[in-house]
Each structure stands twice: as structure tokens, then as C-alpha cells.
Amino acid sequence: MIRLYPDQGFGFLETADRREIYFHRSSVLDGGFDRLTIGVEVRFAEELGEDGPQASTVQPVGESGHHELPEPELL
């Protein structure tokens, strides 16, 4: 996540090849737009929108099954 405009409901992601991709609030899974912050790593699908490439199904890495396992308890 490199730029975020929460009041306007959109932002820009940086791809692995350093391109900027637009995304809209509605593209963030599980209503998570308000939890996004600059610098957070996300996974997304890239698709062609009316004005060029855009991101869909945006999801912060670490959500939905990508959590670290807890440390085992010592008895």
C-alpha cells in the first residue's frame, strides 16, 4: 500500500514490478478498507478497468488463514 485516500474511498498499491495500481474501497474484502494503512502488504487480483489497470479482491497478507501458529505451551 503506497497511497491511501480514506475520505475519498480509494488508494494505490505497488506491484512487484513497481507499477502503481488503483483500487476502490469496494475492492477490499470483508469491508476491510478502513483497516488499511500505508505500508501494509496486500494480495490482489489485477484487472483492466475503464481507465487502465485496477486491483480487485484486495486482502491484507496475514488475514484469512495466514496467521502465525501460537507457541506451544510448556507443561
The predicted structure's pLDDT at residue 1:
84
Length of the chain: 75
Q: How far is CA 25 from the centre of its chain?
A: 10
What's the confidence (pLDDT) of residue 75? 54
Give 27-56 pLDDT, tens digit per residue. Answer: 999 999 999 999 999 999 999 999 999 999
| pLDDT tens for each residue of 48-69 | 999 999 999 999 987 554 444 4
CA 11 from centre of chain: 10
d(CA 69, CA 66): 9
Predicted pLDDT at 7:
96
Which parts of 1-75 are beta strand (E)?
A: 3-5, 10-14, 20-24, 42-49, 52-60
Which one, of 20, 65, 23, lies nearest residue 44 by Cα?
23
